[in-house]
Amino acid sequence: MQIVLDAEARKDYIRYRLVTCLDTETREKARELFGDYCRRGVITGRYAAGDWQVTDELSRTTYDFRFDGMTFRKRCGPWIGCTAGCYGESMRAYVVFQLGRYTLSYIREILKELKALAEMDAEEAVSRVRDDMRLHAAGFLAMLPEGNDVRDYVIEMLEEEPQKKNRKEHRKLADFRYFLRFDRAMEDFWGTADDAQKVFYFPVFFWWRLTCVLPLRATEFLVTPRDCVRIEDGRCSITIRRTRLKKGIRRIAYRLESDYEKKVYEIPEGLYREIRWYQDSTSDKPLPALGTLFIKERETPSGYFTYTQMRRRLMKFCGLVFGDEKYPVHPGDTRHLAMINLMLSGGSPVICRELAGHEDLDISSNYYANISAVVESSVLEMYHGAYDGPAIDGKLLFPAAVPSDGTRMGKGWCLYPGMKEGDMSGCLDSYSADGMLGVCRDCRHFRPDDPGIRLDLEKAAKKRVDDDAAYLFRMIEQVRKSLGYTEDIQEAMLRLQAGANRYRGLLKGRFGKEQV
């Protein structure tokens, strides 16, 4: 991992001086940077102390540099080629140089791995360093003073591609029906709760109402400003802090006003009134030190309603309304739900930019994995939501009699209401995979006589939804590579919406009363 010591602006370019060795000069530079972070309130403690207290205003953590010196001398010193004191001093310098590049929590993980490395022999260093920390370990070792051939070998092995690639695991969302039931439970609870309950559970209510529509990260939601809503010209709006820390394009300042920017979004009047009610109801309580919206559960060093407190509040709500604190809904889920809902509803220019500018394409792809399952869940919950057992009991339900309101059409029936009077506008609702209108087999209003054909149509429609989702992913990738336009994403989302509507119509005919 390359570290920039300083930069020199030339006439036509910028010259960067990289840290290649943690020698006396660079370690002195690290001390200067440490002093600067102390003056800014990011770090508390002495440079040579065994631990530092660090904060980004939202959370506090400890950087503990202590390790077993005797174990280091016996196991690590012979192949590292430096003393335990030099190793500890170099760890401090390396950590300081990472400040501003990574989050404080990630730097703590780097430090944790470097401390573990201090108690390993050469063979263990090659095999036991975490895959995602191998390059940091290699870079750190390469910067240590002195050296020997064994250390060079360890560095070489660490820099090689790990035999087992570290694959990111996507967020495991619960079955979509859990979220539909949660929505109904929230609506019922909010309609009957007393004022004390509403104040206590307002963070959960606000999180659900806002972030299921606006795809916010959990931290963005939690740092909503206290004075966040206003009404002008009859339009209600809310100010939200959105993180600037995307795609590694800027340094981290560890300050709320620097690392987040305020964005204004229009909201329904009902949500505006609920927020104003909460502000008035809690005006006599101690306000968060950071000027955020939610009242803290108790006094905390971070000075605001934290993610941990939000998780605890959500668990209590689930325990109250479902009798199960482990109900599978989590604060980070709603960003994914908002993305999926927006895509299935045709999206907007905002969501196009959000998707195209996502900092991690692998995470983005999770939004459209198995979208057909979301369509299935919404239909099943519509007709079987009150049933606690399996939604499908193994029996296929098909109309035994001729549809009373249908019109005979080839080897099936058209259930579009106006067809009997010659109104063919329903034919415009669906089109075939090759873009042709008026193909009955591909129309959501058509019910074939043969149940087997019906199953084939559902299977084809399900595949089309997932294929359209994959197509959307490809369009986003093209835009990210500057080979396409955001309009291509919009078109792909409309295509996905049409396919989802077709599949939804077929499922409604099987699981419940047809609604056209």
Do residues 229 and 267 make contact, with C-beta atoms less than 8 angstroms apart?
yes
What pLDDT score does 169 carry?
Answer: 45
What pLDDT score does 14 carry?
Answer: 35
| 100 HSE (CA, 13 A, CB side) | 14
Which two structure tokens, joined as six digits, stand for 393? 């009991």
Do residues 34 and 96 make contact, with C-beta atoms less than 8 angstroms apart?
yes
User: In this predicted model, what pLDDT tens digit does every residue of 257-312 receive, in sequence order?
Assistant: 888 889 888 888 999 999 999 999 999 988 888 899 999 876 655 678 888 788 88
**Cα–Cα dist 289/300, whole Å:** 10
What pLDDT score does 331 carry?
Answer: 87
What pLDDT score does 435 carry?
Answer: 59
How high is the mean pLDDT of the chain? 76
3-state helix, strand, coil in the chain (%, to 5): 55, 10, 35
Residue 75 DSSP label? I
**Cα–Cα dist 445/505, whole Å:** 8
**Cα–Cα dist 356/364, whole Å:** 9
What pLDDT score does 286 carry?
Answer: 87
Helix, coil or strand: residue 243: strand
What pLDDT score does 454 carry?
Answer: 52
Beta bridge partners of residue 231, listed in sequence order: 236
**Cα–Cα dist 292/221, whole Å:** 10
Which two structure tokens, joined as six digits, stand for 99? 């400040």
What pLDDT score does 148 carry?
Answer: 65
Which two structure tokens, joined as six digits, stand for 73? 């001398």
What pLDDT score does 35 carry?
Answer: 94
**Cα–Cα dist 6/18, whole Å:** 7
Which residue is it, tokens 């002008």? Answer: 232
**Using alpha carbons only, what angle is made at residue 370 by residues 499 and 481, rounded to the nearest 5 degrees?**
85
SS3 readout for 442-482? HCCCEEECCHHHHHHHHHHHHHHHHHHHHHHHHHHHHHHCC
Which two structure tokens, joined as six digits, stand for 373? 């399952």
User: In this predicted model, what pLDDT tens digit does every residue of 416-472 receive, in sequence order?
Assistant: 777 777 787 777 666 655 556 666 766 767 776 655 545 566 677 777 777 777 777
Which two structure tokens, joined as six digits, stand for 400? 């035994």
What pLDDT score does 46 carry?
Answer: 94
Dihedral through CA 42, CA 47, CA 51, CA 53, nearest 10? -10
What pLDDT score does 152 carry?
Answer: 77
Which two structure tokens, joined as six digits, stand for 361? 């394409």
Report DSSP letters for 231-283, one per residue.
EETTEEEEEEEEE---TT-S-----HHHHEEEEEEE--HHHHHHHHHHHHHTT
What pLDDT score does 449 carry?
Answer: 62
What pLDDT score does 368 carry?
Answer: 56
Taking the CB of residue 28, how many other CB atoms lie within 10 A of it? 10
The domains of the chain, with CATH numbers, are: 4-159 (no CATH), 176-344 (1.10.443.10), 373-389+396-511 (no CATH)
For the chain, which residues score pLDDT lower than 50? Answer: 1-20, 161, 163-170, 247-249, 356-357, 359-364, 386-402, 453, 513-516
Do residues 252 and 103 make contact, with C-beta atoms less than 8 angstroms apart?
yes
**Cα–Cα dist 301/294, whole Å:** 15
Residue 101 burial (CB < 10 Å; 0-12/13-18/19+)?
A: middle
* Distances from the Cα of 70 to the Cα of 57, 64, 123, angstroms: 37, 18, 19
Strands 412-414 and 4-9: unpaired
